[in-house]
């Protein structure tokens, strides 16, 4: 029934939003569409699984560990790949292509290390509680996923809105040159942004892995497309836009699967997205995409 589907949609949508936030943060601050973000999401998921199964870490520690691993990975991508490209003034498409390469490398590495088959979290690791509200079965896991996603998003919003770091990041998003002239170490904030965005992507991977209890090397691909769609729908580089776009896609996907076609849910969701973009090509919260040098 509808309420049950809405709960599913909220769960999925909040994770999409979390994923899309990191994506849009990197685009806003570094002006790079980082297409390795899906693979970083997948790595987060495997990192949590490895921590749980090999080191017998509790789930909360595995989540923190996964954020650390994926965040470090994002930092390395910035330092080893994006930074040299920046230093050479590479045209915009080059870093995007380079990050596709990173994504493929990570995906095949995961396949080599963990195999192509679906892995699952061991029994007893997932919060097992479930309760019934009206007709709706609510899993404790879903509550936890939505809560974690929204708390992290709230922290990110607060940092961007209220702190000097957040103001500096917004300054870079508008004009890196102006930011340098204010004494902001723009390179350092690029690193911090890359770390934070990847950490958010990694925890999103853990949450999706837990929600479906399925982890595969290819799991980053569909969410990458949804992340791109979410930030284009919301308006590239806009934080509120990513939140809205992620939630929208979650709802569109779940509702169309439930009520229109179980096979073609994504087709309906993305078709709807296309229609919205016809009306608002710069996205719902979007401004013009150019920025000052």
Partner 1 sequence: MSEILRVHDLAVRYGHIEAVKGLDFRLNEGEITALVGANGAGKSTTLLALSGLLKPSRGRIEFQGEDITRLAPHQIVQRGVVQVAEGRAILTTLTVAENLQLGAYTRPDKAGVGDSLDEVYQLFPRLKDRAAQFAGNLSGGEQQMLAIGRALMAKPRLLLLDEPSMGLAPLMVQEIFRTVSEINRAGLTILLVEQNVRQALKIARQGYVIETGKIVLSDSGENLLANPKVEEAYLGG
Q: Does 171 bind partner 1 (CB under 8 A)?
A: yes
Query: Residue 31 or residue 178: which is nearer to partner 1 going by CB?
Result: 178
CB-nearer residue toward partner 1: 20 or 186:
186
The correct pick among 57, 136, 178, 277 for binding partner 1 (CB under 8 A) is 178
Least distance between partner 1 and beta carbon 200 (Å): 22
- Give the residue, chosen from 114, 180, 240, 258, that forms a contact with partner 1 under the rule CB under 8 A: 180
Q: How far apart are CA 212 and CA 104, in angstroms?
A: 23
- Answer yes or no: are the C-beta atoms of 68 and 199 closer than 8 Å: yes
**What b/e string do you get for 224-240 counting C-beta neighbours within 10 Å, with b at 16 or more?**
bebbbbbbbbbbbbbbe
Q: Which of 106, 186, 196, 224: binder of partner 1 (CB under 8 A)?
A: 186
Whether residue 60 contacts residue 210, with contact meaning beta carbons closer than 8 Å, is answered with: no
Beta bridge partners of 133: 136
Cβ 188 to partner 1 shortest distance, Å: 8
State in angstroms the smallest separation of the CB of 78 from partner 1.
17
Q: Is 184 in the site for partner 1 (CB under 8 A)?
A: yes
Q: Give the nearest distance from C-beta 177 to partner 1 in angstroms.
A: 6
Q: What share of the chain is helix, strand, coil (3-state, %, to 5)?
A: 75, 5, 25
From the number of C-beta atoms within 10 Å of its C-beta (0-12, 13-18, 19+), residue 244 rates as buried
φ and ψ at residue 56, rounded to 5 degrees = 50, 40
Render 185-240 in DSSP notation, one character per residue. Answer: -HHHHHHHHHHHHHHHHHHHHHHHHHHHT-B-TTTHHHHHHHHHHHHHHH-TT-HH
Among 91, 183, 263, 290, binds partner 1 (CB under 8 A): 183
Smallest distance, Å, CB 27 to partner 1? 15
Residue count of the chain, please give it.
293
Closest CA relative to residue 4, chosen from 130, 133, 129:
133
Stretch that binds partner 1, among 66-74, 162-170, 208-216, 245-253 (CB under 8 A): 162-170
CB of 152 to partner 1, least distance (A): 24
User: Segment contacting partner 1 (CB under 8 A): 50-58, 110-118, 170-178, 212-220?
Assistant: 170-178
The answer to whether residues 179 and 291 touch, using CB atoms and an 8 Å cutoff, is: no
Return the residue of 3, 56, 130, 174 that touches partner 1, per CB under 8 A.
174
Q: Segment near partner 1 (CB under 8 A), from 34-42, 117-125, 135-143, 163-171?
A: 163-171
* Residues in touch with partner 1 (CB under 8 A): 164, 167-168, 170-171, 173-175, 177-178, 180-187
């Amino acid at each position: 029934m509808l309420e049950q589907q809405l709960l599913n949609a909220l769960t999925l949508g909040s994770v999409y939003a979390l994923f899309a936030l990191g994506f849009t943060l990197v685009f806003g601050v570094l002006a790079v569409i980082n297409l390795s973000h899906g693979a970083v999401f997948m790595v987060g998921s495997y990192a949590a699984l490895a921590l749980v199964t090999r080191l017998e870490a509790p789930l909360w520690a595995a989540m923190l560990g996964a954020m650390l691993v994926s965040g470090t990975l994002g930092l390395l991508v910035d330092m080893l790949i994006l930074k040299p490209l920046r230093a050479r003034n590479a045209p915009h498409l080059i870093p995007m292509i380079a990050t596709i390469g990173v994504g493929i490398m990570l995906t095949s590495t995961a396949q080599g290390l963990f195999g192509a088959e679906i892995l699952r979290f061991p029994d007893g690791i997932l919060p097992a509680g479930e309760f019934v509200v009206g007709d709706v079965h609510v899993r404790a896991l879903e509550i936890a996923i939505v809560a974690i996603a929204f708390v992290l998003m709230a922290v990110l919003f607060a940092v961007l809105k209220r702190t000097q770091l957040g103001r500096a990041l917004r300054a870079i998003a508008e004009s890196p040159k102006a930011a340098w002239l204010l004494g902001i170490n723009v390179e350092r904030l690029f690193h911090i942004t890359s770390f934070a965005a990847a950490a958010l992507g990694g925890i999103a991977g853990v949450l999706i892995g837990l929600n479906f209890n399925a982890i595969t090397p290819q799991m980053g691909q569909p969410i990458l497309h949804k992340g791109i769609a979410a930030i284009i729908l919301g308006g590239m580089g806009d934080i509120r836009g990513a939140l809205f776009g992620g939630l929208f896609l979650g709802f569109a996907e779940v509702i169309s699967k439930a009520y229109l076609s179980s096979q073609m849910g994504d087709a309906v969701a993305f078709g709807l997205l296309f229609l919205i973009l016809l009306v608002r090509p710069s996205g719902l919260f979007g401004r013009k995409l150019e920025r000052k040098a």
